[in-house]
Amino acid sequence: MRASSDNLLAWAATHSPDRRTAVGVLALRVRHYFSDGAEPAPSSLPDLRVRVRGQAELPLWHASSGLYGFLRLPPGEARVEIDDPSGRYLPQAISAVVPDRRALRDALEAAAAAAAIAGPPPAYPQVALRPAPGFGLSPATCALWGVLREGSRAVPGALLSIATVRDGGPDTVSTLTGRDGSYLIVLPGEVINRGVTPPQRRFDRALTVRTPRPALAAALASQGFLAALPADVFSLGAADRDALFAPRNFQLRDAAGLLHPQQAGQNPPASVSVGQSVRLDIELLP
């Protein structure tokens, strides 16, 4: 009679954390995103909803290793969907290849101790989640937030990126508009320029907006935001990205209602202030 997954984990739990994750096939590490050029936060994010499309198995959260582990996924390519029930982080989906480790699992379930079975290691994909408008910023955080609209309609699932700085060099922060068209861009690398008098704390940064093309927009509306979201959306190559998202012209409107229009056919820069969270609504142009 085969042992259950609980028994398998009970055996693994008597050994090291590495042994416990080794009995699985896919172990996902989810961390907090800072920027395209910076490493994600070192600690993993707990309390997330992690699913593999088409599979009923739910992952086990392993607190000491910070991994969401799956034991019985079939081998092959899988779409992993990550969502935050608390609304702190934007949903995201990634593609992962699940190795075939059935021989090892069968050997472990048939015996009380591990057998020396050759086979591929588990898959250890990583994903960095972007903060959502509901994240809850600490005071003095440099950030932009607002809503992306086309006319009176909010636009969900748009790709936003802004040129910023990190450690004195160029960097980029990227995000998506959420289900309601709202966005949050946190800029942790912006610092006061004390090399001028008075010190400069306000900077104009180039903002890029790409909205879903009609097929993707229809899927987001009909299938649901996470279900239709492209996998690995932030690491798409230029051709794949451009097939799904169209670059758009826009104007900005600040919290006081003041319009920042295009100048000489160029989109307006986004004005960011060190230590302040600034509202800038994005209004798409035809």
- pLDDT tens by residue, the chain, 286 residues: 334 445 555 545 444 444 444 557 899 999 999 999 999 999 999 999 999 999 999 998 988 889 999 988 999 999 999 999 999 999 999 999 998 877 666 666 665 444 455 567 778 999 999 999 999 898 899 999 999 999 999 999 999 999 999 998 999 999 999 999 999 999 999 999 999 999 999 999 999 999 999 999 999 999 999 999 999 999 999 999 999 999 999 999 999 999 999 999 999 999 999 999 999 999 999 9
**Residue at token pair 């299938």:** 223
**Boundaries of domain holding 83:** 5-129
98 and 208 both lie in a single domain: no
Of 79, 101, 129, the residue that ends a domain is 129
* 136: in domain: no
182 and 280 both lie in a single domain: yes
3-state secondary structure of 234: helix
Distance CA 78, CA 176 (A): 22
pTM for this predicted structure: 0.87
Q: In this structure, are residues 87 and 132 in contact, taking their beta carbons and an 8 Å threshold?
A: yes
pLDDT for res 20: 47
125 and 248 both lie in a single domain: no
User: Given CA atoms 108, 113, 116, 121 in this order, what sign does their dihedral have?
Assistant: positive
pLDDT for res 123: 85
Q: In this structure, are residues 268 and 258 in contact, taking their beta carbons and an 8 Å threshold?
A: no
DSSP symbol at 135: S
107 and 216 both lie in a single domain: no
